[in-house]
Structure 1
Amino acid sequence: SLALSAASALFVVRSHWGIENRLHWVLDVLMQEDRARNRTGDGPHNFSLLRQMATNLLRYNQTNKHSLKVRRKQAAWSTDYLAELLEPLIPLQQ
């Protein structure tokens, strides 16, 4: 219902698909969110938040230049790498 110029409409559409490709597609492919079996109560929302946090931690850590899929597997295989990923969440000790 909003009158947009062609350039504005292009920006809106590309922005929407940028979100879809950057977040939702990654959650579907990397975390297999569509295959999740939890459907009732707070479970779906809680697990969605955990998947998003895990994806953000994998993206935030730039020491490893592998794909997100490989980094996720490495975190499962190596407790040292997992600790490195979780380091931003641990408060500084004085």
Structure 2
Amino acid sequence: MTEDTRYFISSALLSPERAAEAIRCHWGIESMHWVLDVIFKEDLSRLRRGHGAQNMALVRRLAFNIVRAGRGKRSIKTARKAAGWNPDFLAALILPPR
């Protein structure tokens, strides 16, 4: 068994429990951004004018949440590809169950 020590700096006055919660929340957000960049290739987007960048960011996050919620045991990458290849799987993701 190994033990790691990490130090964090914050100007907020937090209890140890609240500080741990804030740290976990931060890494959850970082994890989502990693998925958006690696799986959805967000950093490669060339949209710069008008509202295109914001609109596509919203669409990517919507797709991310839909795929994450309905992927079952598949990885997000595999579920995203399956939705592109299989219209029945895509319909199961976006349509309410009957």
Unaligned runs of 5+ in 1: none
Paired residue type of 1:47: M
Quote the offset at 1:49 in angstroms.
Answer: 0.6
Paired residue type of 2:95: E
Residue 69 (structure 1) aligned with residue 77 (structure 2): yes
Higher helix share: 1
Q: TM-score of the superposition, structure 1-length normalised?
A: 0.78
Of the three residues 36, 39, 42, the one matched with 2:48 is 39
Q: TM-score of the superposition, structure 2-length normalised?
A: 0.75
Unaligned runs of 5+ in 2: 1-10
Quote the offset at 1:6 in angstroms.
Answer: 5.3
Quote the offset at 1:7 in angstroms.
Answer: 5.2
CA 1:45–1:5 in structure 2 vs 1: closer, same or farther (change >3 Å)? same
RMSD over equivalenced CA pairs, Å: 2.1
Paired residue type of 2:59: L
Q: Which moved more, 1:10-19 or 1:46-55?
A: 10-19
Counterpart of 1:60 in structure 2 is 69
Of the three residues 22, 38, 63, the one matched with 1:12 is 22
Listed one character per residue, the Cα deviations across residues 26-78 of structure 1 (whole Å, up to 9, x for unaligned) are 1111101000111111000100111011111111115x421110111111111
Residue 81 (structure 1) aligned with residue 89 (structure 2): yes
CA 1:3–1:30 in structure 2 vs 1: closer, same or farther (change >3 Å)? same
Counterpart of 2:8 in structure 1 is none
Aligned length: 88
